[in-house]
A and B are shown apart, each in its own frame.
Chain A
Amino acid sequence: MTNLDRDLLAAHAAGDTSALVALYAQAAEAANNTDQAAFYLTHAHVFAMEAGHPDTPALRQRLIDMGRECPLPAPNPPLR
């Protein structure tokens, strides 16, 4: 098991979303191919969205640029 794997497991166990964003982004950088990178970037993006992390728009744009994600839809008005 690599250090990154250990750190990811620890972050999952701790529910440390901010660390998960950083570690999955790091995993994407270290990936051997585009599919693997997209997989890890997806996780970084999901946890970033959940946390309202400031990197969320940039992570999403990277996935869009890779053809793996689409832009956000327009906001919905409340149903009254």
Chain B
Amino acid sequence: MDSTLQSLIDIVDQIHVSNRQEELFIYSFDLGTAEPRRPDYVVSPDSAEQVQKILRLANRKKIPVVPLGGGLSLAGLAVPLHGGIIIDLKRMDRIIEVNEKARYAVLECGVSQAQLTSYLERHHPHLTHSEPGAPPAATIAGNLMIHGQGDLAQPYGFNSDLVNGLEVVLPTGEICRFGSCAIGSGWFTNHPLPDMNIFLGWYGITGIITKLSIRLFPAKRLRGTGQFVVDNEELVPEILFKLTHTQMAEDIIAYSRAIPPFSDGLQHFTVNIAADSEKELEWKQEIIWDDTLGDYIRNGDGAYLGFTAGLERPQISKTSDYKKGGGFEYVGSIMPVEKYPECYRTGREISERHNIPYTVTGRCIGAAHSMMFAWTYAFNRADPDTIRHAREALHETDDIVMKLGGVIWKPGIYGQKLILERLDPVTRELMKKIRNLLDPNGIMNPGNWEVNDANG
């Protein structure tokens, strides 16, 4: 038997290790437009110690390693560009601790967004977390690794800003802890120790997160979503600015899409509002819809579409069926809010040129400090031509993001190249030094964030 395969089986077990064609095929794919690349092995460990042993093995044999969470980034970030070992981390899915008083949760890296949501609803109904719009199988650790945002991004910022501590297996196999947990004081804060925040946004290159503590927030008794619409995209930035000024919303999203056809060209807002009493809810609604947006309604520029009690869980997967084809990918960007109109117009133009129903979305991060603006392109997995169009549209959009002064969110290889070409040379060199220091054999998710001669 292949000695690497045997070693992996010795570390984990027979069931959760494979080099058979079926596993290699399935794990070669991202769900977006990225070209598949076959790994040589797939392994699904159950503990940080097993991850540690796998990384030590990979270093000895100089085999590439690609960590995988929910596999839902859609940007090809866990495609094994140079083969090697895919480490599927989803078996490490224990919820280790929820601290009610200090409002945090300690989780293994394979815990899905949905699993935590459900656990809190069932056992700690006064607590919630910032849940992204991804499908429920997306992992919390995976979301941190790409600087994701959730439905509490408006009051609290990026999910990666909400980390209280990490356990990381370094590329060379050492298990390290960061934050208060590093001095045995529980997992309640990431500060005030010297900042060693070099793990988020690196796609696993600097280490594999195996445990994490994230902040939880009060879950109000009543939650719901109000809808507002305008027909002029130029109004969106000021509306977002005014809405964030109220500090009454949990989540603020502006979006526009071609389907259904009657909404084509309209700019919709969804505003999540939470309260502990009907009185509080009514008061917040009055401030938002009457005091803040009332003028738009009275002037005929906008309309209030009503309030729905309860939060409807996003079913983003439906986008994949726009072309009856099981696929979509989007370019996300972190963008100044004032850029919304240009983002909308360019996204629409690119989509129409590629015969794709347009879908654009902007989610407020912080008090309109920025927004995550996404351009979504559906494709038909069975039609190579639509995949090609989607890929071209994505690349064009990556270029647009840079031209508009934004930053590509969770960039794939093409977007990384654009960023690295523009990155401050000293910063770029520091990235290279950090990578070489932590991963001397270059085994960690190679092909991603590669600083080389081509980009400076």
A binds B: no
